[in-house]
Structure 1
Amino acid sequence: MSHPIPSSSIQDDDRPMKRAVLRGLLCRCPNCGKGKLLQGYLTVRDSCSACGEDFTAQRADDGPAYLTILLVGHLMAPLMLAAFVAYRPSAMTLMLVFGIGCVALTLALLPRFKGLIVAIQWSRRMHGFGHGEADVA
């Protein structure tokens, strides 16, 4: 015989990870999705201009750089090998094409991964996000 779970033990997630991650990847406020998360290229705003959410607790540090290097390396290395095997370009052509590709992909991904890391921290109430709120237990 199964017993119903008391409603007091069910925890509603008021900061869903999926929604926060999608908003972070778009460099938008993880709370409202309307305000911009970044000021400039990689500087996180102190607060959201739309909802006022405080972002001073974020600690992204080197996480976005590590994720960017990991993804760019894993995408470009096999592509470089495939291009070399299929077309046998000169070394200078290969370095030029894939050098530009790596730089462009890195510049495109780095702010998005910064938004992702900040959004995850916000969603999980890490590093002071949610400080002063009643603990959800």
Structure 2
Amino acid sequence: MPDAALPLPSAALPHSLGAALARGARGRCPRCGGTHLFAGFVKPVERCRLCGQNWTLHAADDFPAYLSILITGHVMAPVIIELGLKTELSLGAMMALVGTMALVLLIALLRPAKGGIIAFQWWMGMHGFAARPGRREALGD
């Protein structure tokens, strides 16, 4: 496959940052939306099979985990407060319930967070991606 991404019709490209983020969060290629962004749970494919976009340039690092933890903490705080005030659960049962809920939420948010961050970096032209690729290609420059 060539080193550069294949040209796409402007209808296939996302026309806004939100559209690119939505594609990435759903685990789809942020550029074409036609195939999977991930080869593993959070390991992105090297190149998109349809448009040829190189996804090895991203630098998401630990940010998806931080974002997942931040969201989980904000969701779980009121749940923990309500459980503490309104239930007759024992402390051990409450800890097991809260721990399980937090773990499930963290795991469920990790992949969409990584996809969204990769899409954001691509759209903004960060970390080796071409400058504003969605805008440049959509405008035909």
Same fold per TM (> 0.5)? yes
Query: Which residue does the alignment assign to 2:101?
Result: 101
Specify the alignment match of 1:7 in structure 2.
Answer: none
In structure 2, the residue matched to 1:53 is 53
Matched, 1:24 2:18: no
Q: What is the CA distance between 1:16 and its match in structure 2?
A: 2.4
Q: Is the 8 A contact 1:37 1:44 kept in 2?
A: yes
Q: Distance in 1 between matches of 2:110 and 2:97?
A: 20
The list of structure 1 runs, each at least 4 consecutive aligned residues, that deviate by more than 4 angstroms after superposition, is none
- Aligned position for 1:65: 65
Deviation at 1:75, TM superposition (A): 0.5
Ranges in structure 2 where 5+ consecutive residues have no aligned partner? 1-13
Q: Which residue of 2 aligns with 1:77?
A: 77
CA distance in 2 between counterparts of 1:16 and 1:44 reads 22
- The alpha carbon displacement at 1:23 in A equals 0.3
Unmatched 5+ residue regions in structure 1?
A: 1-13
- The separation in 2 between residues aligned to 1:48 and 1:127, in whole angstroms, is 18
Encode CA deviations 1:72-97: one digit per residue, 9 max, x unaligned. 01111211111110113211111111
The one-letter code sitting in structure 2 at the alignment partner of 1:48 is C
Q: Percent identical across equivalent pairs? A: 37
CA distance in 2, matches of 1:34, 1:78: 38
How much has 1:15 moved relative to structure 2? 5.8
Which residue identity is paired with 1:94?
A: M
2:99 and 2:49 map into 1 onto residues whose CA distance is: 37
| Matched letter for residue 117 of structure 1 | I
Please give the secondary structure, in 2, of the residue aligned with 1:44: coil
Paired with 2:65 and 2:48, the residues of 1 have a C-alpha distance of 23
Aligned residue pairs, count: 123
SS at structure 2 position matched to 1:30: coil
Q: Does 1:124 align with 2:130?
A: no
Larger Rg: 1
- The residue identity in structure 1 corresponding to 2:120 is I
User: RMSD across aligned C-alpha pairs, in angstroms?
Assistant: 2.1
State the SS of the aligned residue for 1:21. Answer: helix
